[in-house]
Amino acid sequence: MNRLKWQAKVIPVLIALLLFIPLGITAISSLAVAADEAAQYTAAQIEDWLISKVKSATITYTSPTVVLDTDNTVKIEGFSLSAGGTDVGLETLMFRVNGSTNTTVSIVADLLVFDIHPLPRLSCNADIECSDGVPQITNLQNIEIKYGEFKPSFSSTDLNNIEDAINKALDASGLTLDSPGGDLTGIEVVGGKLKLSWSGGGPLECDAADIEAKLDGALSTLKTEAEDYLSTGNPSKWSCNVTIDADTRLTFNAQATIFDLTAKIEDMDITFPVGTAANATGAVSLESKRATFNATGDISCANYTPSLMVNTLGIGDEYPGLRDYIADPSVNSALRDAMGDLVDNAVNATGLRCRLATFTNIGIVGDNLKIWLEGIPISGVTCEVTCDILGDVTVNLYRDSTVIDSDVSDAATGEYELIAPEAVTYTVVASKTGFREETQQVVVGTNPVPLDFCGNTGLIPNVPRTPYLVTCIHYWLHHELGCGLDTPKLVSVIHYWLHPVYE
């Protein structure tokens, strides 16, 4: 809903809306877990939370850079708006003008749509008119939007709708030209300046800085208009609706009307087959154009921060060229990565947090979306007594004398994770050949348990050398260094230094 001026050009090929599919999955699933203090949520709670986030969204913009070339080309770079940490706009925009007696321009633009690559490219020809100082385009033709090898076709109705939307966006931006009178009759680049000829007066000349200032003002106006649109437009301009089919699925519908064009996400059904997996099917549409889609992913949460990994993405047979292009493995992978980045940006920008530090299940239970743990994770890192990372350590979880779970810490990071099946007291034992075994007791409740084996709980070598002992004494003397050892631990190191165990 923040695409504004350039949305009208991107949406006709449905690329932008297709990229919202996984964000919708996360918005309804992971994002919903922050709605209140419960671990399950009604459709109304999710819907209210989503609407409040959209209405409170803030827009930022990047001011463009303008270059006036000697070959009658105006080049604009970095023209974008951003919401939720995600940019939509133009990487580059080039106007090729035709001289003092001609107002026809050739346009080539690389569209910045999230972080997808290759960038969709727009090209077209149009005439520029100026009435009461407000520029407008007419006679839009030869329009082509190319995404990789996919190029959609446009009917005369499509072209009229796009032209109308662009002109309404220009009106909304407040962009004006200082006309000396009459009609605009020519556009050219002369001596490093853009020269505009008029029927009612001498030419108007402006340099790159003048154009940048006008565009900056237009973007500032569009930012204000966009924030007003988001904060006051529901439900007249935009809306979203969430329903839950008991024990079956969550369904999401949304639509937005911008410059008299209505785009929709229709009947996006989200199911959760097992664990943290999510499946989504539905359709996206712009006016009469409509495409179905399907996607799968895994929703996760680490340290209370939600994330989404998109595993598969496909669209239906409505647009065979786009379907086949997106099915290409390298293209599909790039799109799925871009979707993951889109979700990460939204999570970071909103400061979104899960109710639980982590969860192992998400699903529809009765009339609610529920997240829960099956087992409570115990995790941390394994180190030597000197706090140096020690990998390949076997970590066992005992209940009484029975091993409940076991893991080997990562060779590089020392990270490990165990799963406790219920909330009781356990014994955790870390061991590695060449080191003394280390044991800790842990009381498990309902939340994940951090448990490091470092410093005072770190592993001691069977044969600590004298420099090693000196290091330990240093940490015993200087607790402020972050690996301060207490006296019993230092005594243990001294014991093994005096009485090494050779294996």
pLDDT digits 0-9 by tens, 407-457: 999 999 999 999 888 888 999 999 999 999 999 999 988 778 899 999 999
Average pLDDT along the chain: 84
Q: Which helix (H) or strand (E) holds 21?
A: helix 21-28
Q: Which of 326, 361, 396 is the last residue before a domain boundary?
A: 361
Q: In the predicted model, is pLDDT for residue 362 greater than 50?
A: yes
- The closest alpha carbon to 415, from 436, 390, 438, 440, belongs to 390
Whether 370 is in a domain gets the answer no
Whether 369 is in a domain gets the answer no
Q: Which residues contact 375 (CB under 8 A, 6 or more apart)?
A: 360, 419, 420, 421
CATH number of the domain within which 422 lies: 2.60.40.1120
Task: Decide if 222 contacts 2 (C-beta within 8 A).
Answer: no
The pLDDT value recorded for residue 39 is 64
206, 288: one domain: no
402, 468: one domain: yes
Q: In the predicted model, is pLDDT for residue 355 greater than 80?
A: no
CA distance 64 to 166: 18
Averaged over 308-325, what is the pLDDT? Answer: 90
Q: Which of 191, 214, 230 is the last residue before a domain boundary?
A: 230
Averaged over 173-187, what is the pLDDT? Answer: 88
CA distance 120 to 65: 20
74, 190: one domain: yes
CA distance 27 to 54: 11
The residue range of the domain holding 221 is 59-230
Task: Decide if 118 contacts 135 (C-beta within 8 A).
Answer: no
Averaged over 194-223, what is the pLDDT? Answer: 90
Alpha helices, H only, 318-449 = 320-327, 329-350
Task: Decide if 406 contacts 420 (C-beta within 8 A).
Answer: no
400, 481: one domain: yes
Whether 154 is in a domain gets the answer yes
24, 165: one domain: no
Whether 1 is in a domain gets the answer no
- pLDDT band for 189, please (50, 70, 90 cuts): very high
- The closest alpha carbon to 13, from 143, 132, 142, belongs to 143
53, 120: one domain: no
Count of beta carbons in the 10 Å neighbourhood of residue 194: 22
Q: Which of 230, 245, 277 is the last residue before a domain boundary?
A: 230
The pLDDT value recorded for residue 38 is 35
73, 165: one domain: yes
pTM over 0.75: no
Q: Is 11 helix (H, G, I), strand (E, B) or coil?
A: helix
74, 209: one domain: yes
Q: Which residues contact 229 (CB under 8 A, 6 or more apart)?
A: 1, 237, 238, 258
Angle between helices 329-350 and 21-28 (to 10 degrees): 40
Whether 8 is in a domain gets the answer no
Whether 35 is in a domain gets the answer yes
**Could you tell me which residue, 191 or 28, shows the higher pLDDT?**
191
Whether 90 is in a domain gets the answer yes
Whether 83 is in a domain gets the answer yes
The DSSP secondary structure of 244-278, one letter per residue, reads EETTTEEEEEEEEEETTEEEEEEEEEEE--STTEE
The pLDDT value recorded for residue 334 is 86
Count of beta carbons in the 10 Å neighbourhood of residue 252: 25
